[in-house]
Each structure stands twice: as structure tokens, then as C-alpha cells.
Amino acid sequence: MLTQLHSLSARCCCIPAPGRDVNPVYVESAVVLAAVLCVHMAVWNQHSWCSIALFIQAFYVQHKWDRLLRSGGAVFQFRPSANSGIVPASMVMPLLGLVLKEKCSASGNVYFERFSMVITITGMMLALFLSLIAMGVTRPVPTNTCVIAGLAGSAILYTTKQTLTVSEVIEVLEVLLIFVYLCLIVLYLMPRCFTPGEALLIVGGISFIMNQLIKRSLNLSEVKGDPVNYFLPVVVVGSVLLGVFFALLFCFMESETWVSSLFFHIMTAVLVLGILMPWLSLFIGRHPLMWLWDFVMFNDRRLCLVGYWVFLAIVATCVVLHQNYQRQSGSKKHQASTIVRKYFHLIVVATYVPGLIYDRQLLHVASVGCLAVFLLLEYVRYFRIRPLGQLLRQLLTLFLDERDSGPLILTHVYLLMGMSLPIWLFPSTCAPKGVLAGAGGLVPYAGVLAVGVGDTVASVFGSTMGEIRWPGTRKTLEGTATSVFAQIIAVAVFLIFDGSINLNSTYSWIVAMLEAYTSQIDNLLLPLYLFILLLL
């Protein structure tokens, strides 16, 4: 097995002869393999061996998906100008479950240790399902890939039988069922918005959250933990319900009229006040608005942070208005430059760093609230809901890039999620006093480091001063080098204000290389992989 792994790694990492182009997919896969091997060496159990088997079959299946996308043989319309992204997306949930299991096992938290195993197996099953779809529609049938996928699937199923209880297996199947139906709806209603890998990552995560919320709603007697942790699941499920309902409704009626807009606002209010608020109150034991008022008014520091964030939100709004004014004043600017778009990265860094240092609970709640507002505004823009729908379309068109090729504009949502995911996923129940030792102290900062600092510096320096390009990609060596250097400096600065972290940049090169070669949404992938590696 180890011999096969070294052979596969050599195939992915091989240096081509002069004059030959490097396939970015191979380098991207090699970087992901490096992350998988890091986790495997730290964990070293049957689930980590299964993650290696999953990587091997995903590596082969990705080529089938890429062929389908190039030939137009895919059932749905996926985001163009990008590969399928099966390899990096398939490994996120399994690796996340593996590292969370180790942390919970070390702290003696048996409940979340079992929960982490469910995350691992669920991620593997979702990836296998996506592989079956690719092989099922590929002609001629890829025999070698089918054999490899069959062996990997057999190993995963055997491990599932040996390690999960019957109720946990049922839970995995429930997530898979939700994923199937949600994928059909999302990919049909939102063509060209996702690659197959991004659909696996996003829809798979939403399916898991929905299943967990339903499970806890049916067993309220077992509900425990910090009330802050229940805001995100309720917001995600509510946003999905709202989007699917109106997407189906407006297939049969015009959405731009005042009557339709009034109906949208009324039904949104009914959903929030009549369903989501009572639903959330079941988990936190109080009316959410009263709980939120007491939470924000807890001390003066929270009031200062909220005021500071409101000021930054006004600054960001002024940047949008100013850029649109320049476009309308006769200049030839049709799209915002890379540097202009990175202004928002800097504003988000200025937003998140004080929250991470002084009050992470408040930052958790505020980021969930921003996610709800962003999704609601995107629905208003997409459906052209009056009076703001058309205005939002005009304002946001300037900031479109090649990743916004579908009907939705999700770049700002991805930025928010990339910065917030390490905070939302932080295993506070498995961390003594809410702090992880060693490099784990940097875990909540993974989004700031990977997206706010690393990706921003790489884009700015690479586009302005970069000359040496990585083979097979538009990214530059100068951008990658400055990205790693900037992350080291950022950690040193954070260390001054936060004594719970230490200076550690061991895995920054993996994230920097992934940023250089991936064609997926880097605002999602980079913080997730850095989060996983920092948990080791």
C-alpha cells in the first residue's frame, strides 16, 4: 500500500521535461495528498487509511468528471473555466472528522468523539456517491476507475460496519438522502454557479447541518451546549427553505412586480417571526431577540465592538458606492481591479481580528447574522425584489469576476464564510478553557491567515510585481512567497495581543501552494485546509 502511495505521489509531483506544461490538476492533487499524509501520520487509524483510499479513487474519478465537463456530457451545468475539483472537495469532511476525533479523544469527550466519526464517514459516503454519478454517465464505462472505486468503497463500508452503531449508520444515510434531493434542486435552479467539487462541499455541508437540526429538534431533552452554536443551523436551514420556496414559486409568476415583492416581504417575515424564531427559542430557552439584547449588552466591550463593526460596514458601503460613481462618471472602468476587490479583504481582516482577540462569542453571533443578511440581499437582487433588487444588481455588477458565471453572485458570501468557518467549526467542547494548546491556538485565526492575509497579499503582489509564473497557472512565485511571509508576520503580530497562540507556520506552504494551483473557490478551500492542519 505504501509503495502505491509513493508511486501516486511521484506521479502527481513529477517535474516535467523542459518545454512541457505542468497540469495544474496534478499539482493540486499533490498538495491535497500532502495534507492527507500529514493527517494520516498524526492519526494513524483505520479511518485515516480509508481517507488515503478515498483520495486514490477521487484522483482517478476527477479525470472522468473533467472529461464530462469538457465534452458537455454532465447532467447539470457547472461553473465553466474550472476543473471538477473532486479531489480537494472530497477530502475536506473526512479529514475534518479525523482531526476533530483526535482532539475530542484527547480531552475525553466521548459524545463528540463519536460525532466526529460520523462526520468522517458521512464525508466519505458523499464523495463516493459523487464518484458513482460520474462513472454512471461516462461512456465507455471506465473499467479501471470502477475497480479502484469499488475497492475504496468496500474498505470504507467495512470500516463503517466495524466502527459505527446502527443509529449512526442511519444518520449517515439520512444525510446522503438529503444531499441527493438538495443537489437536484440546487443544481437545477442555479446552473453554472458551482463545480462538482464545490457542490459536494457546500450542499454536503448544508445537508449535514439540516439533518443535525432535525435530529436535535426531535430530541429536545438531549439539547445542551452553548446557545450561540444553534444560531448557524437555524439560519442555514431558514435560508435554504426561503430560497427554494421562492425559486420554485417565481418559476410560475413574475417576481419584479410590486405585488410579488410585497408577497416576498410578507412571507419572509412569516418565516422569520413565525417559524425560525420559535424554532430557535426551543434550543436557547428564551425568545431569541431578548437573549440577543442581553448578550450584546453584557459589557461595554461588546458595545464598542458592535459600534466599530457598524463603522466598518459603512466604510465598505462607501467603497461600493464610490467605485460605482467612478464607473458612471464617464471612466472606462467596467470591472473592479484585483486590488480594489482586496480592499474588502482588508476591511474583513480589520473586522475579525479584534473579535478574535477580545470576544469570539460575539464574533460568532455577528458573523452568522451577516450571513443571514448577505443571503437575504442576494435573494432580493436575484429575484429583482422591489425596491432594492435592481439597485443591488447595478451596484454589484462592477465586482463580478470569472467565478460569478451563474445567476447568483456569491463571492462576498464565500469571503464571509471563509473567514467565519474556523470560528463556527472550532471544537470548544473539546478544548480546555476554550483554548487549544500549541499550534491549535491559531485554529480560530485560520480564516484570517489563509484568506484575509495570505490570499490578499498573494493577489496584490502577484498581480503588481510578479514575473515568474508557476508552470501551468497564472499565479506567480513572488505572490506565493510573499503570502507565506505575510502569514508569518501576521502570526507574530497576533502573538502580541493574544497569548494563547504560538509562532507556527509549518503548514503555510501547503495552503500557499493550494492557492496557487486550485481553480476552486479559494476562499472556502484554503481556510478549511489550514484549519485541519492546525488542529494536528
Helix (H, G, I), strand (E, B) or coil at 208: helix
DSSP characters for 422-473?
HHHS--GGGSGGG--SGGGGGGGGHHIIIIIIIIHHHHHHHHHH--SBPTTS
Q: Please compute the mean of the pLDDT values over residues 390-403 and round it to a whole number.
A: 81
pTM score, whole prediction? 0.90
Q: Please compute the mean of the pLDDT values over residues 409-434 and round it to a whole number.
A: 86
pLDDT of residue 220: 76
Q: What is the mean pLDDT of the chain?
A: 85
Q: Please compute the mean of the pLDDT values over residues 415-442 and round it to a whole number.
A: 80
Q: Please compute the mean of the pLDDT values over residues 93-119 and round it to a whole number.
A: 89
**Cell digits of residue 452:** 484575509
pLDDT of residue 130: 84
Indicate if the pLDDT at residue 346 is higher than 70: yes
pLDDT of residue 503: 60
CA distance 447 to 366: 16
pLDDT of residue 506: 63
Alpha helices, DSSP H, located in 164-195: 166-189
Residues 336 and 478 sit within 8 Å (Cβ to Cβ):
no
CA distance 525 to 531: 10
Q: Is residue 96 part of a domain?
A: yes
Q: Is residue 170 part of a domain?
A: yes
Half-sphere exposure of 533 (CA within 13 A, CB side): 26
Does the N-terminal peptide bond of residue 387 adopt cis geometry, omega within 30 degrees of 0?
Answer: yes
Q: Is residue 58 part of a domain?
A: yes
Local confidence band at 422 (pLDDT 50, 70, 90 cut-offs):
very high
Q: Is residue 191 part of a domain?
A: yes
Number of domains in the chain: 1
CA distance 523 to 135: 29
pLDDT of residue 330: 57
The better pLDDT of the pair 80, 304 is held by 304
Q: Is residue 521 part of a domain?
A: no
Q: What is the pLDDT of residues 171-213, one digit of tens each?
A: 999 999 999 999 888 888 888 888 889 999 999 999 999 999 9
pLDDT of residue 371: 95
CA distance 377 to 502: 39
CA distance 137 to 66: 13
Local confidence band at 14 (pLDDT 50, 70, 90 cut-offs):
very low
Q: Is residue 47 part of a domain?
A: yes
Neighbours of 110 (CB within 10 A): 10
pLDDT of residue 135: 72
- Domain region containing 75: 23-222
**What's the longest Cα–Cα distance across the chain?**
68
Q: Please compute the mean of the pLDDT values over residues 250-261 and round it to a whole number.
A: 86
Q: Quick one: 59 exposed, middle or buried, by C-beta within 10 A (0-12, 13-18, 19+)?
A: buried
Q: Please compute the mean of the pLDDT values over residues 303-313 and round it to a whole number.
A: 94
pLDDT of residue 434: 64
Q: What is the pLDDT of residues 356-394, one digit of tens each?
A: 999 999 999 999 999 999 999 999 999 999 888 888 888
C-alpha closest to that of 458 among 291, 289, 342 = 342
CA distance 11 to 94: 23
Residues 85 and 518 sit within 8 Å (Cβ to Cβ):
yes
CA distance 126 to 108: 28
Q: Is residue 88 part of a domain?
A: yes
Q: Is residue 463 part of a domain?
A: no
